Structure 1
Amino acid sequence: MKIARQFWNDESGSISPFATVLMMTILIVGILPGVVTLRDHIVQKFGDMAVALESIDQSYSYTVDGVTSEYVDTNSLTDPVGDAPAGLDLTISASNE
């Protein structure tokens, strides 16, 4: 415990501003691709969930006293592998400013 207290109270070391700026730059450059990848995967998962919910088949058919009632559900969304999620538009059109 005494050694830990000595390290905590030791103020003889110094950090150069250049080293601090360099370390922060490296951290930011390393974090940005990770955040972009995380964003892309979250959007992909939302698209996959939309396709999964759309793909639920709610068709039914039953007959009571010779009368048949039925409903055929249609599936309109598809999500090919590697493409943007169906139902989500990831493109932003150019605008005149």
Structure 2
Amino acid sequence: MKIFIKITIALLLVIALSAFGVWYRTSSLGHEALLDIATQANLCKTEACTEGIEEAASYLAEEFGLSPRLVEWCVGVDTLAERGGGKGLTNRSWWINLLYRPCGEPVVE
């Protein structure tokens, strides 16, 4: 019984660390993309451009009906979706669709 508990704890720890890694990477990509948007739109007034990032995120949040925090996630997922399937992943559509879940239905033009 002790080995079962240790295996369960180890598995839960691996799942938690993996979830944190996915969240951190996706949010980082979203932050970088929002920084690029703010820079291209000349919204930066300081070197860190926090006000420009907040303005870009709030605009996108209003445009798509999301919270500014969720905009960072969704833009990060967009960035991941634009990239090709690296490291042997030729079709990541199921993974990207899973990450898009909090963003709602995609806007199709």
* TM-score normalised to structure 1 length: 0.44
Bigger Cα Rg: 1
* TM-score normalised to structure 2 length: 0.40
Q: Greater strand percent: which structure?
A: 1
